Amino acid sequence: MPTLRELAQLLMSTLTVLGLATHAAKTPNVVFIFADDLGYGDLGCYGHPQAKTPHIDRLAKEGVLFTQHYANGPECSPTRTALLTGRYQQRAGGLECAIGTGNVGRYDEAIELAKKRQLGLPAKQSVLPSALKKAGYVTGVFGKWHLGYEPQFNPVEHGWDEFFGYMGGNVHYFNHRELSDLHVLFEGRLPVYRKGYMTHLITDSSIEFIERHKEKPFFLFVSHESPHFPFQGPGDEKKVVDETNWMEADAKTYVAMLEDLDSEVGRILKTLQQKNLQKETIVIFVSDNGGFAKAAHMGPLKGAKSSTLEGGIRVPLIIRWPGRIEAGKKSDQVCATFDLTRSILNLAEAKVPAKNLDGIDVIDHLVKKNPDFKRTLYWRGKRGIRTWWAVRDGDLKYVRKTEGDTEEWLYDLSKDIGETNDLSKANPTQVARLKKLLTNWEKEVQPIR
């Protein structure tokens, strides 16, 4: 007959198992799909006049489409830094501009870090993969990394369980090389070679990850290259693409890339359905910044990638969570990339001090059907001698650009989404107020390294 001590140990073991089962049951899988340089109007559900994107459109019908979501940065590396840290990328240091091909710094602070072989996101600042791992999730990132070429910046060092992709900002879609002499395609810590179209390879790895880990909570980061240049559709293997035409826009090819990206998203959604994972998986589809000026469709917005005008930072966001988020809705809630970080961590019940995060839980906002509320958000992007700033406070937005001379504008986005009516001269008091907000923010987000 068991002793009281043995019965107590058995009871504790049973409660532990039940607790783990309950935790696993209520923490959803997360599939986070990043499109690269996708313009605000580049999807059918956001009004593209030509591209057919039925799978992503269906995702929007089954979830929530956001009308006022912002990338934290106007370029790739800054926004990815905000996603992984949950904070303004300015706090990281050296990552206010996309890291240049071949590990090149593009403004003073980044140039100095590159000289020291420190240009990238330090693993100790990254919270998303490590916190999820501690919460019982298996994590994988497949595709574009763009947070540092040096070995210490490899995704595995950040806590990702699995990684396949390229270290820089863009590669030839078929030979997977960039315009430098560096080998950038890796699996884990090891350089690898693959055959195939990059968009398809990213999807293949993502589906294999789902199939391997369908029995446990997982966080899948699908980090697509498409529709970033070089502009190569899935049928363009024989097309000559080199340094002479790497960034040359091609409208027909761009649409082909958008439609292929949609098909690949469809493959992932189909896999979730086939594995009976739809109801227990939240899917987030979003872009890392605005579209490339010569190729993308920004809808009614002014500006493009690299600027803090709306076309450079306002991007598509769709979230689907069957049974928890009401389907077929649009949300006008103002939000940004780092809000998704806090949302995901909260979903996973991951332990991260709230003071270490700058964003809000926008998914909880949807689930509880809370009324939309005003936000104050900030941007600063640097490249060479050029700096773009912006602050949005409620519906008012102040924008400044310095490149030798300084220009500034004030817009009321509730009446002027296209930023066509500059109110700065007629409202000097508001300009001064917003400039002060921006100055105070810059003091608060000093780099921690």
Distance CA 160, CA 126 (A): 11
Buried b (16+ CB within 10 A) or exposed e, 141-154: bbbbbbbbbeeebb
54 preceded by cis ω (within 30°)?
no
Alpha helices in 157-250 (DSSP H): 198-212
Distance CA 270, CA 391 (A): 40
45 as an active site residue: the answer is no
Q: Between β-strands 317-320 and 281-287, what pairing exists: parallel, antiparallel or unpaired?
A: antiparallel
Nearest to 117 by CA among 91, 143, 149, 92: 149
Nearest to 97 by CA among 84, 86, 81: 81
Q: Determine which one of 76, 176, 228, 297 is catalytic.
A: 76
Residue 55: what are its φ and ψ, rounded to 5°?
-70, -45
In a 13 Å sphere around the CA of 160, the CA atoms on its Cβ side amount to 24
- Cβ atoms of residues 121 and 102 within 8 Å: no
224 as an active site residue: the answer is no
Distance CA 350, CA 134 (A): 7
Q: Between β-strands 138-144 and 162-166, what pairing exists: parallel, antiparallel or unpaired?
A: parallel
Q: Is 17 exposed, middle or buried (0-12, 13-18, 19+ CB in 10 A)?
A: exposed
Residue 366 has which token pair? 């949807």
Q: Determine which one of 48, 146, 158, 176 is catalytic.
A: 146
Question: Rg of the chain over CA atoms, in angstroms?
Answer: 22
Residues recognised as catalytic? 76, 146
